[in-house]
Amino acid sequence: MSGEAEFFNEMREPDGSVRDAYADYCGWFNDQDSKLLKRKHAEAETNFRKTGITFNVYGEDEAEERLIPFDMVPRIITAGEWRRLTRGIEQRVSALNAFMHDLYHRQEIVRAGRLPQSLLRDNEAWLPNMVGFTPPGGVYTHIVGIDLVRTGPDEFFVLEDNARTPSGVSYMLENRETMMAMFPELFLRVPIEAVSDYPRRLAKSLAACAPDCAGDKPVVAVLTPGIYNSAYFEHAFLADQMGAELVEGSDLRVVNGRVAMRTTSGYKAVDVIYRRVDDEFLDPLTFNPNSMLGVPGIMDVYRAGGVTIANAPGTGVCDDKAIYSFMPEIVEFYTGEKPLLPNVETWRCADEDSLKYVLDNLGELVVKEVHGSGGYGMLVGPASTKKEIEEFRAKLVDNPSNYIAQPTLSLSTCPIFTKKGLAPRHVDLRPFVLVSPDKIDITPGGLTRVALKEGSLVVNSSQGGGTKDTWVLKD
Nearest to 206, CA basis, from 263, 142, 144:
142
Residue 288's CB: how many other CB atoms inside 10 A? 15
pLDDT of 450: 94
Q: What is the pTM of this model?
A: 0.92
Q: What is the CATH number of domain 345-408?
A: 3.30.1490.270
Give the Cα separation of 413 and 71 in Å (integer): 13
pLDDT of 454: 87
Domain(s) of CATH 3.30.1490.270: residues in the chain = 345-408
SS3 162: strand
| Alpha helices, H only, 104-168 | 108-111, 118-121
**Mean pLDDT score of the chain:** 91
**Residues of the chain falling short of pLDDT 70:** 1-5, 51-67, 372-376, 461-463
Give the Cα separation of 218 and 135 in Å (integer): 16
pLDDT of 53: 60
Amino acid residing at 55: F
Give the Cα separation of 20 and 79 in Å (integer): 12
Measured CA to CA in angstroms, residue 144 lies from 93, 94, 215, 396, 468 at distances of 8, 11, 26, 30, 20
Give the Cα separation of 193 and 207 in Å (integer): 24
